[in-house]
Amino acid sequence: MTSREHLARALWTLIEPLHALNYFSPEARQAFADVGLSRFWDGYFAGRAAPLGAVTAAPVVAMFSGFSPFLVGRALPAVWAVTTPEAALEARLVGAEGALRRILTPAGVDDAHVARAADTLTEVASRIDSAGTIARPLAAANAAQPVPDDPYRRLWSATSTLREHRGDGHVLALATRDIAGLSTIVLRAAVDLDAQTMKGARGWTDDDWAAEQERLTARGLLQPGGRISGWGRAALNRAEDDTNRLAVRPWEHLSEEAIADIARLLLPLSRACAVTYPQPNPIGMPLPWDADADPEALGVPAAPA
């Protein structure tokens, strides 16, 4: 029998492709540009942080984990002189709706299917109550947003709450082992991500990277030369285990059959979105889980490999 923790991870592979559209699609870029945020990182940080209000850089560096203070500080708080959190919240819904409609309609996913998926995930996300958001600021802020009437917007909003709930738990798991922030990126680059890509995508300099490699080597998490050590791989794997455990709460009321039904409902949507991302990709998103072909989710990697 597949553990509930691993099923939570398998469901993440279906949710992440839907959520991440709003950071990389042309519709999202245009929606943010329309409210004055034409630079990619301005739109990214304003859009993702907007549920928190007009937040400054330091809390976002802490909550998002992995981005350099310099990169975040270029966008925040300056973006709030150009637009408002309310406008950024609307822009991300406009972008999400546009991207989902463009991708899903040609894939044969009709409005009724989207509405069923939206209603299902909205109900799951509603299980993230105040107790479930303790130490999870992004999940709490997203869960507090009004539920949109439009099914495409409603779908994306639910995926955002669920994704940020898991993401907050992931940061907690990493911080517990003192491998959050740049440490995570450097360790992952020794396993499955490209170092040069991640430096650019997270705003770190060569000097930052070298200093972190030295620190992780001194801790025994990296070998000389930057290769992952057994201790380093174990730290990452344990953090993934904890992330999965901390992500169970919204799904714990569901039977395995109900979880499989949700997976089948989401698969055509997630597949249609997933093909718009490269594999591998800089956000570490694996392929969506197919519950019919792989009912035990054995093909879903338990940790980066």
pLDDT band at 286 (very low <50, low <70, confident <90, very high): confident
CA 101 – CA 21 distance, rounded (Å): 11
Averaged pLDDT, 158-169? 98
220 domain-assigned: no
196 domain-assigned: no
Is the predicted pLDDT of residue 185 greater than 90, yes or no? yes
Q: Count CA atoms within 13 Å of residue 298 on its CB side.
A: 6
Averaged pLDDT, 187-210? 95
Residue 116: domain span: 4-24+89-176+241-274
198 domain-assigned: no
CA 71 – CA 59 distance, rounded (Å): 13
pLDDT band at 271 (very low <50, low <70, confident <90, very high): very high
CA 238 – CA 303 distance, rounded (Å): 9
Is the predicted pLDDT of residue 305 greater than 90, yes or no? no
Averaged pLDDT, 33-52? 98
Collapsing DSSP states into helix, strand and coil, what is residue 206? helix
pLDDT band at 285 (very low <50, low <70, confident <90, very high): confident
245 domain-assigned: yes
Q: What is the mean pLDDT of the chain?
A: 96
258 domain-assigned: yes
Question: What is the per-residue pLDDT across 44-86, written as a single tens digit (0 to 9) for each?
Answer: 999 999 999 999 999 999 999 999 999 999 999 999 999 999 9
Is the predicted pLDDT of residue 199 greater than 70, yes or no? yes
DSSP state of 85: H
Is the predicted pLDDT of residue 179 greater than 90, yes or no? yes
192, 197, 198, 201 alpha-carbon torsion, rounded to 10°: -140
Percent of the chain with pLDDT over 90: 91
289 domain-assigned: no
62 domain-assigned: no
Collapsing DSSP states into helix, strand and coil, what is residue 21? helix
CA 159 – CA 114 distance, rounded (Å): 13
**Domain count within the chain:** 1
255 domain-assigned: yes
User: Could you tell me the pTM of the whole model?
Assistant: 0.96
Using alpha carbons only, give the angle 253, 122, 283 rounded to the nearest 5 degrees: 95
